Homo-oligomer: A and B are copies of this chain.
Amino acid sequence: MNISISNNADTPIYKQIYDQISGQILRGELDSDETLPSIRAIALELRISVITIKKAWEELEKDGLIYTVLGKGCFIASVSAKKLQNKRDEFAQDKIKKDIKYYKELGLSRDELIRLVNDHFDEK
């Protein structure tokens, strides 16, 4: 499980975890029914509170990406590749709408925005 968190970012920690895990699932890097590490293990590893991870897990479960079996642990939900793709698209579209609104508020044209994407996509 590769997760990196930052205390300085303006995104809350539980969201950082959620984004990274959901990303790994949506990209198909984690197999169905694979076991997620225990909350405590992650809490220790990342030196954060179990409550924070619990919050991330809850969001993932709400979105149908994982499921928990009481007393056994958390598992990756088995979702068909097609459904996965749909979820990915849904997530991306939800975000792009908000983002475009902001760039438009800044006065950027479509071409300027696309140039910006091209300029920064390969960075880092």
A117 contact from B51, B96, B123, Cβ within 8 A: B96
Complex interface: chain B residues within 8 A of A28 (CB): 107
Interface string of A51-79 (1 = CB under 8 A from B): 10000000000100000011000000000
- The secondary structure that dominates the A interface is helix
What's the number of copies of this chain in the assembled complex? 4
Q: A99-B99, A105-B19, A105-B23 are in contact. Are A121 and B117 (CB under 8 A)?
A: no
Is A80 an interface position by the 8 A CB rule? no
Interface string of A90-124 (1 = CB under 8 A from B): 01110111011011011110101110111011110
A113 to chain B, nearest CB (A): 6
